[in-house]
Structure 1
């Protein structure tokens, strides 16, 4: 199922919608199986980093959320395992403490998620998909699809932190190509941000609202490994001029000298990705960068990070029509030619690899490859309404979290839109995050 299939459907006629929801549920579960079947039981129950849960916790948590929302709430069915709700409540137990809990073992977790899924398919068959906000357009099912895919990306990040022989494999991404000028002028004026029509959009993406920006420039592509090496070579990590006070304190406390998973051997930088160590590709977007590193590079380059308003305008605004597109390339759902998504590859693609995915303004690779840090704190839009629960996003609002946009090579298209908002602490580097720079346009440049 694609979100446009549902968003554009006449919800009084839902023929075929159930089949598409079932296909999306199955596709997400196939990915969960791939990520958990790739390792043995010892690796499933082991904590590979204090930042992450054991893989077996993620698997059972996926099933528990599916049971809570679809089996019990939408379906009104009896619980499958009410006794484990607290174990898999992400707000009750910090990730670092989860290995000490009496978690379901691998075989029991697999049995549990299978039983839940069987009941969910029965609920799906009997649910009208209209007449109530939670089920209109299959929203609750779409929320669970996105939840599973988001945890799949988290599990992929756990695989990146895992030590041992490689267990995941994927073909290399397409080769890069020309991208035109280094930066693109985004005209000042109004545009429509957010959405009130996307059927599976989550509460923090809503409502659609008009925002006015000044003219600004934004980089045509994300910052690459080769560009970032120049920052390192110029003493970027040892010069406090480029860092905010909080960033400089973090650099010293964490002893940062390069992106995470990088190692220098002689004059060559290497990166380890999913157990494979290789020289960095200078044309690939830099990844595993924290917010403070992105902020420092931008200042060193004489630029800044874009706000999330600017990022979304660069991604969605079509100057020919004045309207906001669903995706940079238009309204159709992502295809392989548009973006590096769906874990098809295990690394960002070189810049210029997806010319068909460029925005109307000529900005490349805004969707997929790497999550992009913005300078914005995470807050609700004016008119924000919690739905269906505050713990999805509202409890994270405030200055502690920075907004990331666009998705990564590990994101699934069901969980990525030009309106989708991710957020994390500015020190986080285990996520598949990079960035691009922006700058103000002078009066002469904005004409």
Structure 2
């Protein structure tokens, strides 16, 4: 099923991630025999230099191949890759693209969860994805705690030998003005105050495009919030539950995050201020920035994939909107060839999010990771962290 243009059916995700390995690695081998030539059209997402793509908005109409044939396709590609990786020369040549492919598949694992949640939310009987309990009870946030980021020069971007996407480089210097960043995420309770104070009806808090979008779509609360029996409920992967005041607010757009910040007398941090705050925490504390529950950990613990508390550091719980438009760093150049379409072509009309979410794999996220979505997007686990001058 496909519930909206931005979401894709699970079967499509499974086939597309396999298509990536086949297209960028196996098809370069002269002796490789492709599984089905039609798949290059059906499961190419947006790589124009590869060829035509089936329309994104109609992926839910791909009734054939069926799920079993998609599984056979995955088995075919896995076998071909495993066999060829026994050759040291092939393994060396393919290593970089294999890493990209694995991280690409982790991105789609996250999308499968968020897309399935949106699809289930369209059913008025509120079905569950997994009827798992939520993580440990949240504690009330301490709104007075702030990370001080002094003015000065900071080194931004990925460094070292670990994997990173091309949009995390080049590493460069950025001068930042002094700022403070909240140690906790905005909670449902705080956001409810914004709603009750007429936040969705007061245009003075909204960007012009945000006000028009909220009016056009009749927004009056975060996505998945519903009034029932006189109180707010929110749809989760474990079904419909009452809104818990202490949980971080989720599924808000950039427009809503920015409006809330203005209402609170604060603002959203830039992505560079956010990354500098991570560096300050790492130098001053023994707290790991990656100890908060992520998707793989929560599923192993049979816990619901939903944020119930702010992380100890800045990483985890939900993707945090920044005020930074998504653009290339100084000196950025997309990789040569079709793989260069992975990130660079989207550097327009998008905003950067940082920190990962409960739907992200724990070994997929880092403090230089740059996610990006258009400002009206709400179906991902997105939240608000405030900044102040």
Q: What TM-score does the superposition give when structure 1 sets the normalisation length?
A: 0.77
Q: Kindly state the Cα deviation for residue 169 of structure 1 after the two structures are TM-superposed.
A: 4.1
The answer as to 2:315 corresponding to 1:392 is no
| Alignment partners' CA distance in 2, 1:225 and 1:178 | 11
**2:68 equivalent among 82, 107, 111:** 107
Structure 2 alignment gaps of length 5 or more: 47-52
Q: Which of 311, 322, 326 is the equivalent residue of 1:378?
A: 326
The corresponding residue for 1:11 is: none
Other-structure match for 1:54 = 9
Alpha-carbon distance in structure 1 between the residues aligned to 2:131 and 2:21: 28
- Contact 1:341–1:410 at 8 Å: present in 2 too? yes
- Tell me if the contact between 2:258 and 2:268 (Cα under 8 Å) persists in the aligned partners: yes
CA distance in 2, matches of 1:406, 1:112: 33
Deviation at 1:414, TM superposition (A): 3.3
One of 377, 381, 388 as aligned partner of 1:432: 381
Is the contact between residue 203 and residue 387 of structure 1 (CA under 8 Å) also seen in structure 2? Answer: yes
Aligned partner of 2:23 in structure 1 is 68
Structure 1 counterpart SS, 2:232: strand
1:401 aligns with 2:363: no
Contact between 2:186 and 2:383, CA under 8 Å: does it hold in 1? yes
Q: CA deviation at 1:197?
A: 2.3
Which position in structure 2 is the counterpart of 1:84? 39
Show the counterpart of 1:329.
288
Tell me, in whole angstroms, the C-alpha distance in 2 between the residues paired with 1:250 and 1:376: 20
Contact 2:185–2:384 (8 Å) recurs in 1: yes
**Residue aligning to 1:410:** 359
Q: Map of 1:305-320 to 2, 5 A cutoff?
A: 305-317=268-280
Check if 1:220 corresponds to 2:183. yes
**CA displacement, residues 272-307 of structure 1 (integer Å, 9 cap, x when unaligned):** 112511111111111110110000000000011111
CA distance in 2 between counterparts of 1:320 and 1:143 reads 29
**1:291 matches 2:254:** yes
Distance 1:432 1:75 in 2: 42
Distance 2:23 2:323 in 1: 35
**Cα distance change, pair 176–129 in 1 and its aligned pair in 2 (3 A):** farther
- Taking only aligned residues, the RMSD between alpha carbons, in angstroms, comes to 2.6
Write the distance in 2 (CA, Å) between the matches of 1:328 and 1:126: 42
Question: How many angstroms apart in 1 are the aligned matches of 2:205 and 2:283?
Answer: 38
Secondary structure (helix, strand or coil) at the match of 1:317 reads helix
Whole-angstrom CA distance in 2 between matches of 1:49 and 1:314: 36
Conserved 8 A contact 2:129-2:239:
no
The alpha-carbon deviation at position 99 of structure 1 amounts to: 2.9
Asked if 1:150 is matched to 2:104, the reply is no
Contact 2:147 2:180 (8 Å CA) reproduced: yes
Instruction: Give the superposition deviation at 1:101.
Output: 4.3
Note if 1:419 corresponds to 2:368: yes
Sort the Cα spacing of 1:373 and 1:74 in 2 relative to 1 into closer, same or farther, 3 A: farther
Q: TM-score, normalised by structure 2?
A: 0.87
Matches of 1:241 and 1:175 in 2, distance apart?
A: 36
Is 1:260 aligned to residue 217 of structure 2?
A: no
C-alpha distance in structure 2 between counterparts of 1:178 and 1:186, whole Å: 24
Q: CA deviation at 1:267?
A: 4.4
